[in-house]
Chains A and B, each alone.
Chain A
């Protein structure tokens, strides 16, 4: 995974400065880009003997609403309360309530954080036919299930095609940046991994997949690429014409946005496309385990997955669901290039404080092209939540 050249580069890294908490909060709050929406959704039970179900999630209400409504229609005896939280807030709240959880079901796209919770034993196994049949690459231990399929994409303005061939893969983007660095100066936008948890996660995954990622970071730095912390900010800049190419945007948001902005085009990279999955799990000691099981079973069922594929941009995982917006469709088109982020202990490394500092320093160094201290000392990477014991 880690090459020797990277190792040498690490040895010559600049010292870092004191962390500041504000940065951390900002980074994780902005990891996914939830537009300002209602914080909670309620569905009251119709039946006499109702049982409540509390869900903590990081899924925008417009995306989750069709699912909750459909589930409520099928299970009118369950009163649903859906709390839409930000990733860090969700993580913190789950840890805070670890002994007496209030949430029955927890959904989050922050895969390392969600995995850490499950690894700590805060999840409970789900025993249902749908859970048992769930593809093994999209689950862990019958406890953690990836129920969406959201590729990380590139976006370019359609008028770019007049000047140069739009990039279709990471390699093409790299050669484009190298050949036309002057033209593309300040015209490329991507996540700032120092301040965005999502950007950091993609950087780590990119670096794991290919060592040439560092060449790409170097080329991005050389082209004075702009760094943003949310997909929404990047899309906005692209739409306004400030940027021509956006790298590593969350596909589910892009899909919506591009539908309304015809001047933009979305590209799923052909050489490899990272795929993000929202992970759902049932709380250990969930107050309403039966309702929680029913909800997760529903989420993994064909009807819910069909809804995910048709009514949302989150993408369906269920192997029997075909058509646009499904894992099967993406796999058919891109084949081996699809790289879902593996749900496994490798994700824990992402959360390691020292690992994070090491990677970010390496990233900065590459981005600044071995720059001197002329442009000021390197920004301090924001700390990630430490394990609960610390």
Chain B
């Protein structure tokens, strides 16, 4: 596993990655060049020295003639001497007739396979444990009466070739090393230069005040400019979120301040009186206000909790019908006292959805509460299947179509009457968002302009 990780480059810095991707091919390239240079220098040395074999064989062949009914040759010493260079190679020669019989020479040398009709063939052979370069010249007597074929074979040891090949290779080696060194320097420098804007960007981000959300102003190359753009967009979003939060906190403080101030004033008024009946009345009022304020605080708390992006609710498989029944049962007596007709319509079978049950319960409670607060006399909770949907319908004044989206914002109340905190629909919206539930608002009885009512539907996505 660690080995696998080591081969992954993702943990390396960009600079190291560039180095790996540039230097590895470079090293491979250098290796290939060196191999090629070695082969080329061997070949060049062989070519150069084969000329000597060629010249020696030709100069021997020139001396071959027909005499005393046999092949005859007056071996020129210079032909052998030209084969011995500064490296003082060992030299061998032999003359063979058309039938391949040895005529003269200082060692029997093998023949080489013929390639077409090329006059001179070269090959590497080993004769008596001695590696030799052999040249075989096929020629023909130039005479009036005879035109016998014959072969002149000359061979030399490889010292001179080896020395020349080494010398040539050394020169190429030095050249290749110099080029490779320059290439490495260029790669290092260009990688640094190419990554320099990234370093600038990093510094610019690091040096920023953590509280600043102003956009980055920095000249950057194209690829990084896109990154800067994305960063700036993120910053803009964060600015908006912070503005929202600040307004929410302001609104929340304001909402809490009003009932508290009312409580304080009511208590002060009651304290100036000495009539226990007045105290009781004041306490009753204060109790009502405190209850409302406590509910407001609870709603604020749940909204804050819902808006926390890092707290994803654990989901369970919940039966919508059971949930609807339970909520209605709990709210029934309270609403019944107020004279509100709360009903529930559910199918026979269970409708299963995957949600966080307390959050959905909270949403449903809010919807029921909302409907009753804003003047509905009849509230119906409906569960339908395929797709799973939870609908709360009331016969209240409803919300004009233009107001519906605004209703989802915290502290936005559709009307100034009633005891609502303005948070109910915002909480439902938050829960719907967290659960990927589609929330829709529409008039329950659009043909009834006086009291069109409101139908709020929570449609669960099919895979939820």
Question: Within A113-171, which residues are at the interface with B (CB < 8 Å)?
Answer: 116, 119-121, 140-141
Are B80 and A349 in touch, CB under 8 angstroms?
yes
Counting contact residues on chain A (CB < 8 A from B), the size range is 20 to 34
Expressed in whole angstroms, the minimum distance between the Cβ of B289 and any Cβ of chain A is: 116
Question: For residue A389, which residues in chain B have a CB less than 8 angstroms away from its CB?
Answer: 107-108
Per-residue B-contact encoding for A1-37, CB less than 8 Å = 1, 0 else:
1100001001101011000000000000000000000
Are B76 and A2 in touch, CB under 8 angstroms?
yes
Q: Taking CB as reference atom, which chain A residue is nearest B64?
A: A354
Interface class of chain B by DSSP: mixed
Q: Taking CB as reference atom, which chain A residue is nearest B80?
A: A345
Question: Within B68-118, which residues are at the interface with A (CB < 8 Å)?
Answer: 68, 72-81, 83-84, 88, 90-93, 102-108
Instruction: Tell me, in angstroms, the Cα distance from A353 to B73 when the chains sit together.
Output: 9
- From B78, B83, B88, B107, A387 is in contact (CB under 8 Å) with B107
Question: For residue B105, which residues in chain A have a CB less than 8 angstroms away from its CB?
Answer: 352, 387
Question: For residue A345, which residues in chain B have a CB less than 8 angstroms away from its CB?
Answer: 77, 80-81, 83-84, 91
Instruction: Tell me, in angstroms, the Cα distance from A346 to B56 when the chains sit together.
Output: 12
Instruction: Tell me, in angstroms, the Cα distance from A212 to B104 when the chains sit together.
Output: 28
- From B77, B88, B130, A349 is in contact (CB under 8 Å) with B77
Any B CB within 8 A of the CB of A350: yes
Instruction: Tell me, in angstroms, the Cα distance from A359 to B74 when the chains sit together.
Output: 8
Are A140 and B73 in touch, CB under 8 angstroms?
no
Question: Within A333-366, which residues are at the interface with B (CB < 8 Å)?
Answer: 342, 344-355, 358-359
Given A119-B91, A140-B88, decide whether A354 and B72 contact each other with a Cβ distance below 8 A. yes
Q: Taking CB as reference atom, which chain B residue is nearest A14?
A: B68
Are A348 and B73 in touch, CB under 8 angstroms?
no
Expressed in whole angstroms, the minimum distance between the Cβ of B131 and any Cβ of chain A is: 11
Instruction: Tell me, in angstroms, the Cα distance from A387 to B105 when the chains sit together.
Output: 8
Question: Within A86-133, which residues are at the interface with B (CB < 8 Å)?
Answer: 116, 119-121
Are A15 and B74 in touch, CB under 8 angstroms?
no
- From B104, B107, B130, A352 is in contact (CB under 8 Å) with B104
Expressed in whole angstroms, the minimum distance between the Cβ of A205 and any Cβ of chain B is: 10
Question: For residue A116, which residues in chain B have a CB less than 8 angstroms away from its CB?
Answer: 106
Question: For residue A1, which residues in chain B have a CB less than 8 angstroms away from its CB?
Answer: 76-78
Are A390 and B108 in touch, CB under 8 angstroms?
yes
Are A121 and B88 in touch, CB under 8 angstroms?
no
Given A1-B77, A344-B84, decide whether A358 and B72 contact each other with a Cβ distance below 8 A. yes
Q: Taking CB as reference atom, which chain B residue is nearest A346?
A: B77
Are B88 and A354 in touch, CB under 8 angstroms?
no
Given A116-B106, A353-B104, decide whether A346 and B78 contact each other with a Cβ distance below 8 A. yes
Any B CB within 8 A of the CB of A208: yes
Per-residue A-contact encoding for B167-205, CB less than 8 Å = 1, 0 else:
000000000000000000000000000000000000000
Per-residue A-contact encoding for B113-156, CB less than 8 Å = 1, 0 else:
00000000000000010100000000000000000000000000
Expressed in whole angstroms, the minimum distance between the Cβ of B9 and any Cβ of chain A is: 54
Expressed in whole angstroms, the minimum distance between the Cβ of B59 and any Cβ of chain A is: 10
Q: Taking CB as reference atom, which chain A residue is nearest B105?
A: A387
Instruction: Tell me, in angstroms, the Cα distance from A320 to B173 when the chains sit together.
Output: 41
Are B107 and A346 in touch, CB under 8 angstroms?
no
Question: For residue B83, which residues in chain A have a CB less than 8 angstroms away from its CB?
Answer: 345
Are A355 and B73 in touch, CB under 8 angstroms?
yes
Instruction: Tell me, in angstroms, the Cα distance from A1 to B92 when the chains sit together.
Output: 20
Q: Taking CB as reference atom, which chain B residue is nearest A140?
A: B88
Are B80 and A348 in touch, CB under 8 angstroms?
yes
Question: Within A358-390, which residues are at the interface with B (CB < 8 Å)?
Answer: 358-359, 387, 389-390
Instruction: Tell me, in angstroms, the Cα distance from A346 to B78 when the chains sit together.
Output: 6
Question: For residue B130, which residues in chain A have a CB less than 8 angstroms away from its CB?
Answer: 121
Question: For residue B107, which residues in chain A have a CB less than 8 angstroms away from its CB?
Answer: 120, 387, 389
Are B78 and A348 in touch, CB under 8 angstroms?
no
- From A121, A347, A350, B90 is in contact (CB under 8 Å) with A121
Are B68 and A355 in touch, CB under 8 angstroms?
no
Instruction: Tell me, in angstroms, the Cα distance from A120 to B68 when the chains sit together.
Output: 30
Expressed in whole angstroms, the minimum distance between the Cβ of A22 and any Cβ of chain B is: 22
Instruction: Tell me, in angstroms, the Cα distance from A76 to B14 when the chains sit together.
Output: 75
Instruction: Tell me, in angstroms, the Cα distance from A9 to B78 when the chains sit together.
Output: 20
Question: Within A306-356, which residues are at the interface with B (CB < 8 Å)?
Answer: 342, 344-355
Expressed in whole angstroms, the minimum distance between the Cβ of A302 and any Cβ of chain B is: 25
Q: Taking CB as reference atom, which chain B residue is nearest A10?
A: B74
Are B68 and A16 in touch, CB under 8 angstroms?
yes
Are A354 and B76 in touch, CB under 8 angstroms?
no
Q: Taking CB as reference atom, which chain B residue is nearest A2?
A: B76
Are A346 and B102 in touch, CB under 8 angstroms?
no
Given A2-B76, A344-B81, A345-B83, decide whether A119 and B90 contact each other with a Cβ distance below 8 A. yes
Instruction: Tell me, in angstroms, the Cα distance from A298 to B117 when the chains sit together.
Output: 55
Are B84 and A354 in touch, CB under 8 angstroms?
no
Q: Taking CB as reference atom, which chain A residue is nearest B73?
A: A354
Expressed in whole angstroms, the minimum distance between the Cβ of A207 and any Cβ of chain B is: 10
Question: For residue B90, which residues in chain A have a CB less than 8 angstroms away from its CB?
Answer: 119-121
Question: For residue B103, which residues in chain A have a CB less than 8 angstroms away from its CB?
Answer: 354
Are A349 and B76 in touch, CB under 8 angstroms?
yes
Expressed in whole angstroms, the minimum distance between the Cβ of A15 and any Cβ of chain B is: 6
Expressed in whole angstroms, the minimum distance between the Cβ of B50 and any Cβ of chain A is: 17
Are A354 and B104 in touch, CB under 8 angstroms?
yes
Q: Taking CB as reference atom, which chain A residue is nearest B95?
A: A354
Question: For residue B106, which residues in chain A have a CB less than 8 angstroms away from its CB?
Answer: 116, 119-120, 348, 351-352, 387
Instruction: Tell me, in angstroms, the Cα distance from A6 to B218 when the chains sit together.
Output: 95
Expressed in whole angstroms, the minimum distance between the Cβ of B129 and any Cβ of chain A is: 8
Instruction: Tell me, in angstroms, the Cα distance from A314 to B263 when the chains sit together.
Output: 141
Question: For residue A352, which residues in chain B have a CB less than 8 angstroms away from its CB?
Answer: 73, 75, 104-106
Sample (19) of A-B pairs whose CB atoms are under 8 Å apart: A1-B77, A119-B90, A119-B106, A120-B106, A121-B130, A208-B77, A344-B84, A345-B83, A345-B91, A346-B77, A346-B80, A348-B106, A349-B76, A349-B77, A349-B80, A389-B107, A389-B108, A390-B102, A390-B108
Contacts A120-B90, A348-B106 known; 19 new A-B pairs at CB < 8 A: A10-B74, A120-B106, A140-B88, A141-B88, A342-B81, A344-B84, A345-B80, A345-B83, A346-B78, A346-B81, A348-B93, A349-B79, A350-B77, A352-B75, A354-B103, A359-B74, A387-B105, A389-B108, A390-B108
> Chain B residues in contact with chain A, CB under 8 A?
65, 67-68, 72-81, 83-84, 88, 90-93, 102-108, 128, 130
